[in-house]
Structure 1
Amino acid sequence: PAWCLCVQVLIGAIAMPCSAQSTDAKNAGDRESAVDLSVSDEVPDLVVVRQEISLSGQQSKWNPAPVLKRSGRIVQWDQEILVIQVDNSMDAGEPLLLRIDSRQVERIEPNWGSQQVRQVVKLFGQQKYREFIKGLRDLDLSKIPDWQQRLLLDWIVQAVTEVNGPMAAAPHFLKLSANAPDLLFANMPLCWTVQEPSPDLIRAAEGWMQSGDEVAQLLGASWLAQTAQSEQSRKVLERLQGSKRSVISQLATAQAWRQVAPADTMERLPQWLAFRDKMLLPLALGPTELMLDRLSRIGQLDLALGQAFWIAATQRDRPGRAGKALDRAVELLKGQGRKEEAQKSIQWREGQQGSDR
């Protein structure tokens, strides 16, 4: 019942008009490039597990930490643990329940269990966010396992962000974050690029930053990092880097990069890349968007293109943001007169139909 209530609240949130809605947000819902996030009845749940998430030691960006894939039926997933009944484990007479640290879960590919749910999920992959929310109204949420509802709620936060902006999505993310696995923090509506928050968003961020909750503090400090409250934001981010919860510490560390002077970017870049490449792949999206934005602004266009293509290649589960990265790459290439490469990027963008799910 609690999960169902959260879904209903978020459905209402995305339906609300938003006068400050950006052109990009409006266009995102109309894009036709699709990622198929559904699976057939015969396919079991699949969990992709990062074998190493340490942020220390040597690691090549071209040789990321290896992953393991486990298929079967997920029976539990929360902040602490994911439990999966391993596929074919009943052959031995007893089900084998594998317990996985949730901090290592990099991706989940669910068997949604019904054609109706799969059709709604496809709408999200097609970036038809309003239709996705409307489709949820027709689902019997009581028949959807709690762990699958977590994924749906995460996608609703993404949809609200795309349609109504981060201010509309932030309060709902805060409601969902109390027991959220690290994976879901990839879509926390933080500010990763140079943006000018509205007066309403600044007031909301001030309240979040003064909260006793670390997630709210991180959210507030993120949106105030480049405002008149930048010094307070810096202090909060510095403190949150020492958080006992790794995901908060990592995101606070990357958020602090935004306050590094542009002239110091190239000196810091190797450190940023090394840190990014040791994060869970989904969590690395925001920091990479930051580097893409910063590098393009200081004229390091080839390095910026590398970040855009990294996002497009690794973040297909987040089609809106992956598509925007490719759009930015096309813009940069056209600005340099590299028409052939720009056309290939356009074809890549248009060719993002379906997925390996």
Structure 2
Amino acid sequence: MKLQLTTLLIFSVLASAASAEDKVVLLLKGGSSRITISGTIVDYTGRSIQIRPRAGMAVKTYPTSQVLEVHTSQSTAHSRGLDLLADYRTREAVLNFEKAIALEPRTWVRRELLALLIQCETRLQDYAGAGSHFRLLAKSDANSNDFKLIPLFWAREILKEEARKAATGWILTDSDIDQLIGASWLLFNSKYSEMASNTLKELSTSTDERVRLLAKAQLWRLQLRGRDISRFELQRWESRIERMPEELRGGPYYLLGAGHLLRQEHERAAAALLWTALVYDFDHQLAARACLKAAETMKQLGQKDEAKNLFREVAIRFRDTSYAQDASQAIASGG
């Protein structure tokens, strides 16, 4: 399974501070050659990158789809935060990213830092923080390439009071994105379930394609709760997922896997769950859960070696989640 990417983004630490030249590697139209442009990046959004080659020169604009690499300077806190995140020291990474945002003068780099904060907060299950920062990111760039980080619920989650209060406010705003997050979190809340369901139905006709597709998929959770789902319905889900932009597929694939598990279709369930665990793993907690479920499913199928490999994947790659302990116990008991 390989995710087909149209853009590869690389942030590099350059020797100097803000005065260092940025470098952008672009794939020219036709895809046969590439060029590197040096200068100062003025802005970088989900649609385009703007770079001024030299002071006094006109700003040049290129589609984001042509961007292969971006090399720019980072603050010490930014760089340190990345190192800490890679080392699974997520809480320390948050502190560094927050410090970096406070010091960073470039709007487009602050958006990159917001995306990193959202990743950290989702890992820590700080959904109130992740939701708040995602709203800021979406307001700054409506076409953000990091829309895949939107913190929706695809499985049962414990909704803390701070997140519940935030969700009850967001669901009442005029923003489709705010409403989507709020409705997702409140869908199984006894007091707000009906409001959340109705909101998702309204959002399923949103003019924002990403919101529309995700709202429709969120409603599948209600069908799963009924525990009576047909093979035909799951085939419809799979067809819809395959037509979605790839960055939106992680949560829907998890629901597809859950649907197959309800029908005890273990091979189909494992295949769907592995898309979430190994390919569309933008939500760290959901990917860990999906990987553990896939491992357990493989074990039920008698595919012991495959199960052991997946249990190890959870224990190592997702060692900062509660699922790692379950995986380690499974390994200790013979997988």
TM-score (norm 2): 0.69
The residue aligned with 2:62 is 98
Shift of 1:207: 2.6
Encode CA deviations 1:208-256: one digit per residue, 9 max, x unaligned: 2222222221112112223333332222112112222222212212212
Shift of 1:153: 0.4
Query: Is the contact between residue 75 and residue 85 of structure 1 (CA under 8 Å) also seen in structure 2?
Result: yes
Shift of 1:265: 4.9
Equivalent-residue separation in structure 1 for 2:281 and 2:125 (angstroms): 22
Is there any run of 5+ residues in structure 1 with no aligned partner, and where? 1-36, 52-65
The residue aligned with 2:5 is none
Equivalent-residue separation in structure 2 for 1:38 and 1:233 (angstroms): 39
Which residue, 250, 257, 275 being the options, matches 2:220?
A: 257
Do structure 1's residue 238 and structure 2's residue 201 form an aligned pair?
yes
Query: Is the contact between residue 285 and residue 315 of structure 1 (CA under 8 Å) also seen in structure 2?
Result: yes
Q: 1:217 to 1:95 in 2, by over 3 A?
A: closer
Q: 1:319 to 1:311 in 2, by over 3 A?
A: same
Query: Is the contact between residue 38 and residue 122 of structure 1 (CA under 8 Å) also seen in structure 2?
Result: no
Shift of 1:130: 1.0
Encode CA deviations 1:256-312: one digit per residue, 9 max, x unaligned: 222224322532222222222232322222222322334334423222211222123
Encode CA deviations 1:74-115: one digit per residue, 9 max, x unaligned: 642336x322569xx99xx99964234xxx79x986434348
Which letter does structure 1 place at the counterpart of 2:306?
Answer: E
Structural RMSD (CA): 4.2
Query: Is the contact between residue 47 and residue 108 of structure 1 (CA under 8 Å) also seen in structure 2?
Result: yes
Higher mean C-alpha displacement, 341-350 vs 236-245? 341-350
The residue aligned with 2:328 is none
1:1-357 matches, within 5 Å, as 39=12, 45=24, 75-78=42-45, 81-83=47-49, 97-100=61-64, 110-114=70-74, 116=76, 117-136=78-97, 139=100, 142=103, 145-180=106-141, 181-195=143-157, 197=159, 201-228=163-190, 229-260=192-223, 261-315=226-280, 321-348=286-313
Encode CA deviations 1:145-193: one digit per residue, 9 max, x unaligned: 3222212201202212322432343233223322333432222221111
Aligned length: 293
Q: 1:352 to 1:224 in 2, by over 3 A?
A: closer
Determine what percentage of the aligned residue pairs are the same residue.
21
Q: 1:150 to 1:203 in 2, by over 3 A?
A: closer
Which letter does structure 2 place at the counterpart of 1:83?
Answer: I
SS state at 1:277 partner: helix
Equivalent-residue separation in structure 2 for 1:112 and 1:215 (angstroms): 30
Q: 1:309 to 1:110 in 2, by over 3 A?
A: farther
SS state at 2:88 partner: coil
Equivalent-residue separation in structure 1 for 2:313 and 2:165 (angstroms): 40
Equivalent-residue separation in structure 1 for 2:133 and 2:100 (angstroms): 20
Encode CA deviations 1:93-146: one digit per residue, 9 max, x unaligned: 99964234xxx79x9864343484444223323432112123335648645632
Q: 1:319 to 1:41 in 2, by over 3 A?
A: farther
Whichever of the two has the greater Rg, that structure is: 2
Higher mean C-alpha displacement, 289-298 vs 238-247? 289-298
Equivalent-residue separation in structure 2 for 1:178 and 1:233 (angstroms): 22
Higher mean C-alpha displacement, 250-259 vs 290-299? 290-299
Equivalent-residue separation in structure 2 for 1:338 and 1:216 (angstroms): 43
Equivalent-residue separation in structure 1 for 2:35 and 2:227 (angstroms): 43
**Bigger relative contact order, structure 1 or 2, given CA contacts below 8 A and separation 6+?**
1
Equivalent-residue separation in structure 1 for 2:13 and 2:253 (angstroms): 33
SS state at 1:98 partner: strand
Query: Is the contact between residue 186 and residue 193 of structure 2 (CA under 8 Å) also seen in structure 1?
Result: yes
The residue aligned with 2:331 is none
Query: Is the contact between residue 114 and residue 133 of structure 2 (CA under 8 Å) also seen in structure 1?
Result: no
Equivalent-residue separation in structure 1 for 2:34 and 2:48 (angstroms): 13
